[in-house]
Amino acid sequence: MPEKTYREALREAMVQEMENDESVLLMGEDIGVYGGTHLITDGLLDMFGPRRVVDTPISEGGFTGAAVGMAMTGLKPIVEMMTWNFSFLAADQIIQNAAKVRYFSGGQVEVPLVIRGPNGGGVQLSAQHTHSLENMYGHFPGLKVVSPVTPNDVKGMMLTAIRDPNPVIFLEAGALYGTKGEVPEGDNAVPFGKARVAREGDDVTLVSYGRQVNLCMRVADKLEEEDDVSAEVIDVRSIRPLDEETLVESVKKTHRAVAVQEQWRYFGVASEVAAIIQDKAFDYLDAPVERVSGAETPAPFARNLELAAFPNEDMVADAARRVLYEKVV
Amino acid sequence: MSAENERTGDGGVETQEEPREESRDGGAVATDGEHLVELYKNMILIRTFEEATQRGFRQGKIGGYLHVYIGQEAVATGFIDAYKEGDRVITAYRDHPFPLLLGSDPKSVMAELYGKGTGLVKGKGGSMHLFDVENGLYGGYGIVGGHIPLGVGFAYAMKYQETDHICQLYLGDGAINNGAFHEAANLSGLWGRDGMNPCLWIIENNQYGMGTSVARSTAMTDLGAKFDAYGIEHEKVDGMDLEAVLEVAHRTADKVRETGQPYVVEALTYRTAPHGSADFFEKYRTKDEVKKWRQRDPVGQLEHKLLEREILDEDALEEIRAEMKETIDEATNFADESEEPSVEELYTDVYAGEDEYMGEE
């Protein structure tokens, strides 16, 4: 199977659907002539022309709203949010229009819209350019929210997102655009609402999504090496809908869980995961579910502070040891 | 300045130009008598409908907010006359006249306001979210300014799909100072430069955003001129005079259809009814001001013309009023007697496609 970068896989999905479906178009800031801030759309203007690769002015609310209008009337826009940090300026359009218009129109319209862009931090962009918004958007009925981490999933979930008749919030692991992985040619559509068991294990379940999955994989290696503990790693990848079944099945096997997220602790996805587990697998639990989260501060700039602000291997490994009632050094 | 005007700070009256004589002639529009009678019926339909909704609200049969179109009827009636099948209409929350003019059954419009399952959007939207996509109405939105980018998107899509349809995008004067307005106007002008934005912007300038007059909202009170910043042409019309509106509506709709470029009409009008159901005291305007505008009531003006030109006599007018009253009485009875939506409807239409609802019920 060919190896591709996350960036290439993402681009491939969009090109494939644009070739298959005339109604798919791209919109966003500097996606055309410039080639995209993160070079995801590089070359697409030449391939598809300016009607289908629309460079917009810097007005997130305006162009996101226009895309909602296009989606309501037969087009399938893919909007690039240069980074998700700018989506607050478009939040009224996403939340008040995209998410709800189908409902308050009594089902008379559909909104087949994808809004995509890099989410999360880790590259010293400091407070205003570092957010993980999966819990915020995951809160609103009417939206679907996904957060793929592997090149295979980013392609497969983008195919699914474009074909979905609902608005999809597509949160990319911005720090991982250059990472490589196996990606099949052609159609590898990955359904929403299905978590991926990234690594099988018996003793403890590590639940995460986005780039924290890679962290959990490293921690699983570490636990195996240092503690002889077999950790299962679950990549949730679809935040809404959330695959409760895979979580519950895993905990029934391991009896212990740690939920890891880059975002802030309170009211986050990890809290939801912990709630689901205590709801549906309470009798199987041998320890309270642990959460590992970002520090309760705006994201700092200095590298050492930034590293301290996000979950690291030790934090996750120690949380796993606590739920295993092992001695934490 | 009267004492009352001093109290409100500006008194809406002075902030507005007197309607110009030339616009009152109705230009060169050839509206035959029969057509005027049809439109008169539409205006009476709207007026009667709105009065019935006010009664329904007072009786506690209509919940939520209620924003009526009384005083502004000539604007929607004139512009929707220029609607062609396949066009798309979008507006804010003062939306009751639009489905009525576009061909929705008044019964289902009233039933929606009553929160019934037989309503236009199955009781899921209410007064502010009227949709009838089959007849070209794409809502009905509750956040001031929030719907404007959608209309610009509709217009882009129409050209992308290589049609000759247009979008009629209605907004109030209150939306003009909202960021969504400025971002969308900029996009409309930009895309229109390439013929990709057949959007007819219709500003229903009823002179108040809720209770704040235009003069108390912006130092630049010429609302059409805001569009100069975005390269979009504009003109004004006396929105109390149906014939004037008709002339402008047909001419500008044709122009937008032909060029694929946006165009703006600022219709100066007046909401003689309160802003909404909670606008009890109207401290922001004087009784004199309301009275003055009532004298220019669009329905009254048209009646006067119909009589003067001997198109209809008093009896014929009365007959139309009675006919419309009957239609609205039927609609009200229908709404009253209809069932509420079934509780199962709570979870439908959240998502399109197979997974109608995701989550616990």
**Residue A189 lies inside a defined structural domain of this protein:** no
Q: Pick the catalytic residue from A110, A129, A313, A326.
A: A129
- CB contact, 8 Å: B61 with chain A? no
Residue B355, token pair as written in the block: 């997974």
Q: What ipTM goes with this model? A: 0.96
Rounded to whole angstroms, the maximal C-alpha distance in chain A is 61
CA distance A258 to A251: 10
Q: Is the peptide bond before B140 cis (omega within 30 degrees of 0)?
A: yes
Identify whether residues A228 and A140 lie together within a single domain. no
CA distance B3 to A327: 81
> Closest partner residue to B125 among A92, A104, A241, by Cβ?
A104
CA distance B111 to B126: 9
B111: chain A residues, CB-CB within 8 Å? none
**Residue A111 lies inside a defined structural domain of this protein:** yes
Tokens 């400025």 locate to: B182
CA distance A152 to B222: 55
Among the listed residues B340, B328, B290, B274, the one whose alpha carbon sits nearest the alpha carbon of residue B53: B328
Identify whether residues A24 and A151 lie together within a single domain. yes
Q: CA of A66: which chain B residue's CA is closest?
A: B153
Task: Tell me which architecture the domain covering B21-334 has in CATH.
Answer: 3-Layer(aba) Sandwich (3.40)
Instruction: Check A104 against B151: CB less than 8 A apart.
Output: no
Q: Specify whether the CB–CB gap between B274 and B53 falls below 8 A.
A: no
Identify whether residues A104 and A26 lie together within a single domain. yes
Run of H or E including B123: none
Burial B177-190 (b: 16+ CB within 10 A, else e): bbebbbbbbbbbbb
Mean pLDDT computed over B30-54: 93
Residue B313, token pair as written in the block: 């006599």
A193: chain B residues, CB-CB within 8 Å? 355, 358
B121: chain A residues, CB-CB within 8 Å? 104-106, 108
B274: confidence class by pLDDT, cuts 50, 70, 90: confident
Residues 6+ apart with CB under 8 A from A150: A6, A181, A235
What CATH number is associated with residue A103?
3.40.50.970
Identify whether residues A156 and A200 lie together within a single domain. no
Residue B57 has pLDDT above 70, yes or no: yes
Mean pLDDT computed over B227-253: 98
Identify whether residues A159 and A212 lie together within a single domain. no
**Residue A307 lies inside a defined structural domain of this protein:** yes
Answer with the one of A182, A211, A242 that is the final residue of a domain. Answer: A182
**Residue A91 lies inside a defined structural domain of this protein:** yes
**Residue A191 lies inside a defined structural domain of this protein:** no
Residues 6+ apart with CB under 8 A from B164: B198, B257
Identify whether residues A167 and A226 lie together within a single domain. no
Answer with the one of A151, A182, A213 that is the final residue of a domain. Answer: A182
Of all residues in chain A, the percent with pLDDT exceeding 70 is: 100
Active site residue A129: yes
Tokens 């709570």 locate to: B346
CA distance B55 to B50: 9
> Closest partner residue to A62 among B140, B142, B186, by Cβ?
B186
Residue B245 has pLDDT above 70, yes or no: yes
CA distance A113 to A23: 11
Q: CA of B143: which chain A residue's CA is closest?
A: A96
- How many residues are given for chain A? 329
B88: chain A residues, CB-CB within 8 Å? 73
Q: CA of A61: which chain B residue's CA is closest?
A: B180
> Given its phi and psi angles, is residue A169 left (phi above 0), alpha (psi -120 to 50 degrees) or beta?
beta
Answer with the one of A157, A182, A207 that is the final residue of a domain. Answer: A182
Q: Where are the domains of chain B?
A: 21-334
Instruction: Check B148 against A70: CB less than 8 A apart.
Output: no
3-state secondary structure of B14: helix
Identify whether residues A22 and A169 lie together within a single domain. yes
> Closest partner residue to A74 among B142, B161, B183, by Cβ?
B161
The CA distance from A239 to the nearest CA of chain B, in Å, is: 12
Q: Write the pLDDT tens digit of every residue in A232-242.
A: 999 999 999 99
Sign, Cα dihedral of A49, A115, A94, A309: negative
3-state secondary structure of B79: helix
Identify whether residues A93 and A203 lie together within a single domain. no
Q: Write the pLDDT tens digit of every residue in A143-202.
A: 999 999 999 999 999 999 999 999 999 999 999 999 999 999 999 999 999 999 999 999
**Residue A329 lies inside a defined structural domain of this protein:** no
Residue B19 has pLDDT above 50, yes or no: no
Instruction: Check A74 against B151: CB less than 8 A apart.
Output: no
Range of the domain at A226: 196-323
For B:159-178, CB contacts with A below 8 A are 160-161
For chain A, which residues score pLDDT lower than 50? none
What CATH number is associated with residue A210?
3.40.50.920
Q: Specify whether the CB–CB gap between A146 and A239 falls below 8 A.
A: yes
Mean pLDDT computed over B192-218: 96
B360: confidence class by pLDDT, cuts 50, 70, 90: low
> Closest partner residue to B149 among A61, A112, A240, by Cβ?
A61
**Preferred mutation among A54, A55, A72 to probe B, highest tally of B CBs within 10 A:** A72
Q: Specify whether the CB–CB gap between B5 and B11 falls below 8 A.
A: yes
End-to-end CA distance of chain A: 42
CA distance A204 to A310: 21
